[in-house]
Amino acid sequence: MAAFKLAFVLYVLGCLLCLTPVIDGKPRLLIYSATAGFRHDSIPTAITVLKERADTISVEFDATEDRSQFSLDKLSSYDAIVFLSTTGEVLDGGGKAALQDYLNRGGGFVAIHSASDSLVNTTFYTRELGAVFDYHADLQHFSLNVLQPDHPSTAGVPAVWQVQDEAYNFKSDPRALGAVVLLSADDSTIIGKPEPGSWRTATYIDSQKIHEHHVLTKAHPIPLEKGAGVEPNGFAGRSFYTSLGHLNETWQDDIFMSHILGGISWVLQGNTTLAFNSSAMVGNAQTSQDPTSPAASDAPDNTGNPKTTGIVDHP
């Protein structure tokens, strides 16, 4: 591992000396972190860490809060769009139409934390993400149980994972849309003090809400008839959502990052975009590569570790 780290440092230093970009043919992702409601101060931290770790899964991230990026022309060069802690109405009608078109053409979708409290009345967005945020318990330490340990987003996570985050509740069960739940909060570890306002009302109107899927991560392709965000004549890529990601500290945690980077890798491995499929309709067209070894051409060293888990220490 020490030798690997040294090799990695040398590789990074080598690239700093390069005068021309060395990156091409990598999957490209667009991080969108616009907010029209609550703004998480962890957004800049998250963007910095994602860009720092991009090499570990051999991808490139661009980041924007500019709504005008949501045209089909601009979205088309990306292999996935990442809604990072967005809140509220962050797209206008034209932007929503462009996102819908992008999803119809096999584009990948990743949504993190409060992205489920965004575009709450946009049906295709809710279907793509799986559910709408309802309320959360106070920020606290609690445990998550891994329900699907064989998924890239959970492969690096302990079977019982202690986190400090917000435990989200949703207005509906994403399983109803065909989502597979990968992680679920252990309710017995959550102190569910109702906050004033709607969450208390919601709690008492429907007591099931406090017992079900406080926190979840989902992954699908959702069968079209069950309601993915893709229109009936479209071609569905993959979608991944995690409700974790509130704090700066969360983004500095290697286990959390293996969860996020594993989820992103899994979305790309749907092979519905140009980085992995030369006949796809959207994505980075420069070269196709084998998604099972995304770092193969750029790897600083061959450690024999599976690349898809994204668990590589960053110097």
Ligand X SMILES: *[C@@H]1O[C@H](CO)[C@@H](O)[C@H](O)[C@H]1NC(C)=O
Is residue 253 at the binding interface for ligand X, with CB under 6 A as the rule?
Answer: no
* Two structure tokens written together for 10: 């040398």
**Among residues 24 and 41, whose Cβ is nearest to ligand X?**
41
**Among residues 15 and 202, whose Cβ is nearest to ligand X?**
202
Residues 97-136 that bind ligand X (CB under 6 A): 106, 120-121
Is residue 11 at the binding interface for ligand X, with CB under 6 A as the rule?
Answer: no
Q: How far is CA 256 from CA 50, 52, 180, 211, 308, in A?
A: 12, 15, 19, 24, 15
Find the shortest distance in angstroms from Cβ 186 to ligand X: 26
Find the shortest distance in angstroms from Cβ 235 to ligand X: 5
**Among residues 192 and 309, whose Cβ is nearest to ligand X?**
309
Is residue 180 at the binding interface for ligand X, with CB under 6 A as the rule?
Answer: no
For residue 300, what is the DSSP state?
S
Q: Look at residues 84, 81, 103 and name the one whose alpha carbon lies nearest to residue 229.
A: 103
Is residue 290 at the binding interface for ligand X, with CB under 6 A as the rule?
Answer: yes
Is residue 42 at the binding interface for ligand X, with CB under 6 A as the rule?
Answer: yes
Find the shortest distance in angstroms from Cβ 243 to ligand X: 19
Binding span for ligand X by CB under 6 A among 17-25, 137-145, 166-174, 288-296: 288-296
Find the shortest distance in angstroms from Cβ 78 to ligand X: 16
Residue 312 falls in which region: left (phi positive, over 0), alpha (psi -120 to 50) or beta: beta
Q: Which of 172, 271, 286, 303 binds ligand X (CB under 6 A)?
A: 271
* Two structure tokens written together for 258: 């293996």
Q: Which of 263, 291, 294, 310 binds ligand X (CB under 6 A)?
A: 291
Is residue 293 at the binding interface for ligand X, with CB under 6 A as the rule?
Answer: no
d(CA 257, CA 251): 7
Q: Specify the residue for token string 């992995």.
A: 276
Is residue 71 at the binding interface for ligand X, with CB under 6 A as the rule?
Answer: no
d(CA 276, CA 226): 26
Q: Look at residues 208, 129, 135 and name the one whose alpha carbon lies nearest to residue 166.
A: 135
Is residue 164 at the binding interface for ligand X, with CB under 6 A as the rule?
Answer: no
Q: Which of 292, 297, 302, 305 binds ligand X (CB under 6 A)?
A: 292
Q: How many residues bind ligand X (CB under 6 A)?
A: 21
Q: Look at residues 264, 231, 244 and name the one whose alpha carbon lies nearest to residue 123.
A: 231
d(CA 34, CA 269): 27
Residues 184-243 that bind ligand X (CB under 6 A): 235
Is residue 172 at the binding interface for ligand X, with CB under 6 A as the rule?
Answer: no
- Partners of residue 32 on adjacent β-strands: 64, 83
Sheet holding 140-146, edge to edge: 60-64, 28-32, 80-84, 108-112, 239-242, 216-220, 180-185, 140-146, 160-165
Is residue 270 at the binding interface for ligand X, with CB under 6 A as the rule?
Answer: yes
Per CB under 6 A, residues contacting ligand X are: 41-42, 44-45, 89, 106, 120-121, 235, 248, 269-272, 277, 279-281, 290-292
